[in-house]
Amino acid sequence: MTTQTLVQYFAKTPVRNPTSISYKDISTQIAKTLFNSGIEPFKTTPSLLSNLNSHITHLVLSDTNLPPHACLHFFNFLRQNPSLYSHRPDLQAHVTLICRLYEAQKFAEMKKVFNYIVTDANLRCSIVNLISLIESGNQQPKFVEKFCDLLFRVYADNRLFEDALGVFDYMERSGLKIDERSCIAFLLALKRCDHIEMCFKFFRKMVDANVEITVYSISIMIDGLCKRGDVEMARDLMDEMVVKGIKPNLYTYNTLLNGFVKRKDAVGVNEMLSLMQRDQVAYNVVTYTLLTDWYGNSGKMVEVEKMFDEMHERGVEADVHVYTTVISWNCKSGNMRRAFTLFDDLTERGIVPNSHIYGAMIDGVCKVGQVEAAEMLLKDMQRQGLDVNEVIFNTLMNGYCKKGMIDEALKVMAIMEKKGFEAGPFAYNTIASGLCKVKRYNEAKKWLFTMMERGLALNTVNFSTLIGICCKEGNLEEAKWLFEDMKMKGVKPNSFTYNTLIHGYSKKGNIKQAYRLKCKMEEMGMTPDVYTYTSLIHGERVFGKLDEAMILFNEMIEKGFIPNAVTYTTLITGLSKEGRSDEAFRLYDEMIASGLTPDDKLCSSLVAFIQPSLSCEGFLKSERINLINS
């Protein structure tokens, strides 16, 4: 809407004009009817409003004899029954009503009217024009302040960020007091849309505009920074708030704790816990959820259960979130018995299981190969009135794929699509990896190509899977092309992607290229892990370079990585083949001591030069130590 049309709205004709006088009469009549009998007469006799126009509407709404709530009823009636007269309430009617509602301090209702202005394409106008409307009405500064505050909030709620910023700037320029709570609504709206950078810039603007800053907005900023991965910066912000005399609270600490937990940063986690202890901030159920997740992720199931017990002992009531985490970690560690016990417990405590809990349980039973149990859980879930969502469908598909039951997985996918869920990158990837498992590489590729043909962009995981397939086929040229293509398309390779390629090159004998990729991933800020090292060790070993393999092995241990069964097996097999039995057995002992189980192949390779007649099983039972010592 232009200034021109706004001027027309407010260019009120003097009362002297005979037409206006009759408008006044009509409006007075309408107001009287409303006052005495409410909205009903207009419902039964719509002709009472046959002469209505925007001017009369304005006069009715601004009639001080009519209480604000009656104005609101009239306004809503007009909005809901546009067919009764030629036009819906215009911008002027909205602003007039806002003024009346302010008189009655009906802020929630005012917000609703602002929402109409902001969302109705016919009413939207520039902030300057909108504010000029009320300024021309010579309103009290307090009203202008409230008007701007609500407008700012409504723009924020509707994600009209630039407009919201316009109001903020106007308020600052005009010296109006800006409420931190409204700024919080804006910060949260930005955060929900992942506009963290804008969030941060706005926070600085708040500081510059002398908006009162409390622990609330700082905690939101800390969370935004943590979610963006800038945990250090978030930590600094907390220090900054302490210097300014603002004390962090349970929310602030939990937010930072979450940042460190997600980053697997033990130093950070411990620091947060000791700060909480120092400040005597007691853990709540959120803290315990984070801590059970922390220990679960570190493979410390005993600690998970300890935390869960401590929570109960301290009288902190468990909720569905903490149960989901504890159940999920038990499922991931294969302890389904415990998971089912917890599942029964939560129902007894009156907690209603939701789709997240069922999701964790279904995944758990699938991981131990019990797809039948997954189907039962699914039925149970449906009996509870819970809808099967996309995540559950993907979990089930994965369960079938892991068992090599591709046809069943495809049936699930068909049902999922029939239910209106379009298969996405997760579903396609699950099917593709399922097909890889049974070595149907061409079909696996086809599924990922189909996904692209359906207009879905491949994500990092999809590209990694595709690269992995090419590597398995020995087609490193295609793998390299895909790697370049993904970068060109702006899809960032992660450590999985690098590891897949490193594995491919190592297996193919191009160890130089594998090392180059290891350097590249380090340059990109990714840390080579046990998989990177194992692939490289394998690459060196295949070509008989055992010394180089041992250097890598020692390097990975120095860096704090714990070798897995594959790492040990690769090295021990290589050493055995070279006849370096002492080193082979030393590593074997180390492997057993760290609780890893050797597979048949490994046993055979060792048995070969100790006692060729012994079976693998026999070797394990024969107290090998004695054999070596003798």
Partner DNA sequence: TTAGGGTTAG
Q: Which residue's CB is nearer to DNA, number 217 or number 576?
A: 217
The CB-of-465 to DNA minimum distance in angstroms stands at: 5
**Minimum distance, C-beta of residue 246 to DNA, in the bound complex (Å):** 11
Whichever of 308 and 585 has its CB closer to DNA, that residue is 308
Least Cβ distance, residue 170 to DNA (angstroms): 21
Q: Which of 164, 77, 76 is nearest to 118 (CA)?
A: 164
Selection from 602, 601, 607 nearest residue 587 by Cα: 602
- Considering the complex, state which of residue 499 and residue 513 has its C-beta at the smaller distance from DNA: 499
Minimum distance between the CB of residue 552 and DNA, rounded to whole angstroms? 15
Helix and strand counts by DSSP (H, E) for the chain: 37, 0
Vertex 111, ends 106 and 112: CA angle to 5°?
A: 100
Nearer to DNA, 176 or 467 (CB): 467
Min dist CB 275 to DNA, Å, is 15
Measured CA to CA, the distance from residue 289 to residue 320 in angstroms comes to 10
Q: What's the closest the beta carbon of residue 579 comes to DNA, in angstroms?
A: 30
Q: Hey, what are 537's tokens?
A: 């060790």
Q: Give the residue with the Cβ less far from DNA, 158 or 284.
A: 284
Smallest separation, CB 71 to DNA (Å):
28
Give the footprint of DNA on this chain (CB under 7 A): 180-181, 184, 188, 214-217, 219-220, 223, 249-252, 254-255, 258, 284-290, 293, 319-322, 324-325, 328, 332, 354-360, 363, 389-392, 394-395, 398, 425-426, 429-430, 433, 436, 460-461, 464-465, 468, 494-497, 499-500, 503, 529, 531-532
Task: Select 95 or 366, whichever has its Cβ closest to DNA.
Answer: 366
CA distance 590 to 318: 41
Write out the DSSP string of 163-215. HHHHHHHHHHHTT----HHHHHHHHHHHHHTT-HHHHHHHHHHHHHTTPPP-H
Q: Which residue, 285 or 551, has its beta carbon nearer to DNA?
A: 285
State the minimum distance, in angstroms, from the CB of residue 141 to DNA. 23
- Based on CB atoms, which residue is closest to DNA, 319 or 590? 319
Length of the chain: 630
Q: How far is the CB of 604 from DNA (least distance, A)?
A: 24
Residue 258, token pair as written in the block: 């979450």
Closest CA to 571 of 546, 593, 605: 546
Task: Say which residues have a Cβ less than 8 Å from residue 407's Cβ, sequence separation at least 6.
Answer: none
Of 27 and 219, which has the nearer Cβ to DNA?
219
HEC string for 377-421: HHHHHHHCCCCCCHHHHHHHHHHHHHCCCHHHHHHHHHHHHHCCC
Nearer to DNA, 197 or 212 (CB): 212
Tell me whether residue 463 or residue 585 sits nearer to DNA (CB atom): 463
**Rounded to an integer, what distance in angstroms lies between the CA atom of residue 77 and that of residue 88?**
10
Interhelix angle 161-173/196-208, rounded to 10 degrees, is 10
| Start-end of H helices in 439-596 | 441-453, 460-472, 476-488, 495-508, 511-523, 530-542, 546-558, 565-577, 581-593
CA 291 centroid distance within chain: 19
Helix, strand, coil share of the chain (percent; to 5): 75, 0, 25
Our CB check for DNA shows the closer of 476 and 614 to be 476
Q: How far is the CB of 510 from DNA (least distance, A)?
A: 16
Whole-Å CA distances, 111 to 60, 61, 130, 262, 320: 21, 17, 15, 38, 34
Cite the beta strand spans of 19-89 per DSSP E. none
Give me the least distance between CB of 331 and DNA, in Å please. 7
Q: Which is nearer to DNA, 144 or 381 (CB)?
A: 381
Q: How far is the CB of 266 from DNA (least distance, A)?
A: 18
Q: Is the dihedral of CA 504, 506, 509, 514 positive or negative?
A: positive
* Shortest distance in whole angstroms from residue 469 CB to DNA: 9
- Among candidates 334, 266, 258, 337, which has minimal Cα distance to 293? 258
Question: Among 408, 415, 453, 452, which Cα is nearest to 431's?
Answer: 408
Nearer to DNA, 98 or 357 (CB): 357
- What's the DSSP call for residue 492? P
Q: How far is the CB of 548 from DNA (least distance, A)?
A: 21
